[in-house]
């Protein structure tokens, strides 16, 4: 299917969108604080070892230390031994204050530190270098056994001819590629590793020893396939840097680079701005009239499927089946667009026929095939839910462009004026342990709250407020604070 890669660059951010048949499939953002740190290699120091979790916290230069589990530590000591043999304790592998090279496997997300590994891997166009072992692996997306064997023999031969004693994983884009580009990739990766070892000796701990490519180069390296017809870039300097990269590593794509200089903004012309705004909404309309409701929580992602305004034409079962089928095709695109990962639970509308369930599940699996992120799908549970997982390495689109509401603190709900009014009255009672005397004295309580709360106290709760004033022996007056949100108030004795 025809694809286009759009790269929009400004002084304050870089945005990338992948279009397939004119429809946006993937969006990436890089702002002042940079893009994803996954792939970066640091010289870190072990701060604390936690035997109960078989893990360690490693300081590597960010504000929050990273998390390193025992199973993510490279070395033959962690390879499974004979049956019944236990893996070594974390305290046998690390000690506090130890310096070691670590790579970011997952970005810091939602208050959690980065997930780290010492199993270093450096990616190029066709290969991934694994410097601490000699294994040769082939991407699982390469299906044909003959091609898998060809690639494995090719890399083994190249590795032997260059005298390289490190491992490689052959990426999907290498399928059908001749020897010369892969040979060049091996040479580049070996040079990068030599440079990393030089930096390792020179850098102060904690510090960075290898930084992944910037967003505009990384997406060209990882996302440009034979299906990509054009790469449009609207910034001259970025266009030249990408052109240099493509000329050296992807010469067959040089003619597909286009400098976009139209007066109309690139993302506006191709509808990416509108799609980006739609990606922030919970509700996703379906063409039939049904809709999805996507909820993102710290524990998991939930997707609820609803018929909405779709009433069908034949029967309820047929209406439900058609809605679920459309939802199964739409959900993977939304997950990829929003970069949602982790555990995902889809609540399809209940179907009575098992064949309909199988068809919906097959549609979901097929729609996930184009997703470069690793996904795993379970069948329908006894409750009619489909559970799946999608590999998560960086923040979702929502986490990148939004922040928790200061009023609801990320709950998505705020206290009603009635609830806040009751809290105000209760707070005054608790504060007024000793009565002030009669309502004629000068002392009085001042309530500062939002307009809706003050209106509630002066209207529906006016009688209760009057009784409270008599009870505590103080006058009570109110003041509207426009800056106060729902649930916020102050009381003071003046």
The pLDDT tens digits of the residues spanning 193-234 come to 999 999 999 999 899 999 988 889 999 988 888 889 999 999
CA trace torsion 393, 399, 400, 403 (10° rounding): -150
DSSP strands (E only) in 312-431: 342-347, 375-380, 385-390
Does some domain include residue 422? yes
Neighbouring residues of 115: CB distance < 8 A, sequence distance ≥ 6: 66, 67, 72, 104, 105, 106
Would you say residue 82 has pLDDT above 60?
no
Domain shared by 232 and 263, yes or no: yes
Domain shared by 424 and 333, yes or no: no
Domain shared by 285 and 389, yes or no: yes
Domain shared by 285 and 396, yes or no: yes
Domain shared by 70 and 96, yes or no: yes
The pLDDT tens digits of the residues spanning 406-451 come to 777 777 788 899 999 999 998 888 887 655 544 445 678 899 999 9
Closest C-alpha to 185, from 241, 253, 254, 248:
248
Give the CATH number for residue 80: 2.40.50.140
Residue labelled with tokens 């936690």: 50
Domain shared by 71 and 136, yes or no: no
Would you say residue 336 has pLDDT above 90?
yes
Mean pLDDT taken over the chain: 88
Dist. CA 275–CA 23, nearest whole Å: 9
Give the CATH number for residue 451: 3.40.1260.20
Domain shared by 289 and 377, yes or no: yes
Give the residue from 401, 430, 449 where a domain finishes.
Answer: 401
Does some domain include residue 166? yes
Domain, as residue range, for 100: 38-114
Domain shared by 259 and 225, yes or no: yes
Does some domain include residue 408? no
Does some domain include residue 410? no
Strand 291-296 to 301-306 pairing: antiparallel
Can you list the alpha helix ranges (DSSP code H) found in 339-441? 354-368, 397-401, 417-431
Q: How far is CA 143 from CA 75, 172, 300, 331, 404, in A?
A: 30, 10, 31, 25, 44
C-beta neighbour count of 142 within 10 angstroms = 18
Give the CATH number for residue 328: 3.40.630
Domain shared by 438 and 395, yes or no: no
Does some domain include residue 411? no
Q: With 0-12 CB in 10 A as exposed, 13-18 as middle and 19+ as buried, what is 255?
A: exposed
What pTM does this model have?
Answer: 0.80
Does some domain include residue 386? yes
Dist. CA 50–CA 62, nearest whole Å: 20
Neighbouring residues of 190: CB distance < 8 A, sequence distance ≥ 6: 129, 162, 164, 166
Cβ(339)–Cβ(395) below 8 Å = yes
User: Tokens standing for 421?
Assistant: 């009014």
Does some domain include residue 409? no
Closest C-alpha to 338, from 291, 386, 402, 286:
402
% the chain with pLDDT above 90: 52
Give the residue from 114, 132, 150 where a domain finishes.
Answer: 114
Strand 115-117 to 489-493 pairing: unpaired
% the chain with pLDDT above 70: 94
- Mean pLDDT computed over 120-148: 91
Does some domain include residue 79? yes
Query: Looking at the 3D structure of the chain, how many domains does it have?
Result: 5
User: Tokens standing for 82?
Assistant: 């004979």
Domain shared by 305 and 228, yes or no: no
Residue 457 DSSP SS3: helix
Domain shared by 422 and 487, yes or no: yes
Give the residue from 342, 371, 401 where a domain finishes.
Answer: 401
Domain shared by 381 and 285, yes or no: yes
Give the CATH number for residue 10: 3.30.420.60
């Amino acid at each position: 299917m025809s694809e286009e890669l759009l790269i929009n660059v400004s002084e304050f951010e870089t945005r990338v969108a992948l279009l397939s048949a004119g429809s946006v499939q993937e969006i990436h953002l890089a702002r002042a604080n940079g893009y994803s740190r996954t792939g970066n290699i640091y010289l870190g120091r072990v701060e604390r070892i936690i035997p109960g979790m078989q893990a360690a916290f490693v300081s590597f230069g960010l504000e929050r230390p990273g998390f390193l589990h025992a199973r993510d530590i490279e070395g033959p000591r962690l390879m499974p031994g004979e049956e019944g043999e236990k893996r070594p304790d974390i305290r046998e592998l690390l000690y506090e204050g130890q310096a070691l090279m670590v790579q970011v496997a997952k970005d810091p997300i939602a208050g959690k530190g980065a997930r780290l590994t010492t199993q270093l891997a450096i990616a190029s166009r066709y290969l991934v270098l694994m410097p601490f072992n000699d294994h040769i692996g082939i991407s699982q997306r390469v299906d044909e056994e003959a091609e898998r064997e060809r690639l494995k023999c090719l890399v083994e031969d190249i590795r032997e001819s260059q005298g390289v004693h490190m491992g490689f994983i052959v990426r999907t884009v290498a399928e059908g590629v001749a020897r010369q580009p892969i040979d060049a990739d091996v040479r580049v990766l070996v040079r990068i590793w030599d440079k990393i070892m030089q930096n390792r000796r020179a850098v102060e701990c904690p510090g960075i020893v290898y930084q992944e490519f910037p967003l505009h180069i990384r997406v060209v390296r990882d996302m440009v396939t034979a299906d990509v017809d054009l790469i449009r870039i609207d910034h001259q300097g970025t266009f030249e840097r990408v052109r240099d990269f493509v000329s050296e590593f992807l010469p067959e794509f040089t003619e597909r680079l286009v400098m976009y200089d139209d007066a109309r903004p690139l993302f506006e012309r191709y509808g990416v701005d509108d799609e980006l705004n739609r990606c922030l909404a919970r509700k996703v309309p379906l063409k039939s009239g049904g809709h999805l409701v996507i909820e993102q929580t710290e524990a998991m992602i939930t997707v609820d499927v609803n018929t909405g305004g779709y009433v069908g034409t034949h029967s309820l079962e047929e209406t439900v089946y058609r809605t679920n089928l459309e939802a199964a095709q739409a959900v993977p695109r939304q997950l990829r667009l929003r970069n949602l990962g982790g555990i995902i639970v889809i609540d399809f509308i209940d179907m009575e026929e098992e064949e309909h369930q199988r068809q919906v599940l097959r549609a979901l699996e097929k729609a996930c095939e184009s997703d470069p992120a690793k996904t795993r799908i379970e069948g329908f549970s006894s409750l009619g839910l489909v559970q799946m997982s999608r590999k998560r390495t960086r923040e979702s689109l929502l986490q990148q462009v939004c922040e928790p509401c200061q009023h609801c603190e990320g709950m998505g709900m705020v206290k009603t004026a009635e609830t806040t009014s009751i809290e105000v009255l209760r707070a005054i009672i608790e504060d007024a342990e000793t009565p002030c005397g009669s309502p004629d004295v000068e002392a009085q309580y001042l309530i500062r709250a939002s307009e809706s709360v003050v209106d509630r106290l002066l209207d529906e709760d006016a009688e209760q407020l009057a009784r409270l004033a008599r009870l505590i022996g103080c006058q009570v007056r109110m003041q509207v604070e426009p800056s106060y949100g729902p649930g916020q108030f102050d009381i003071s004795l003046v």
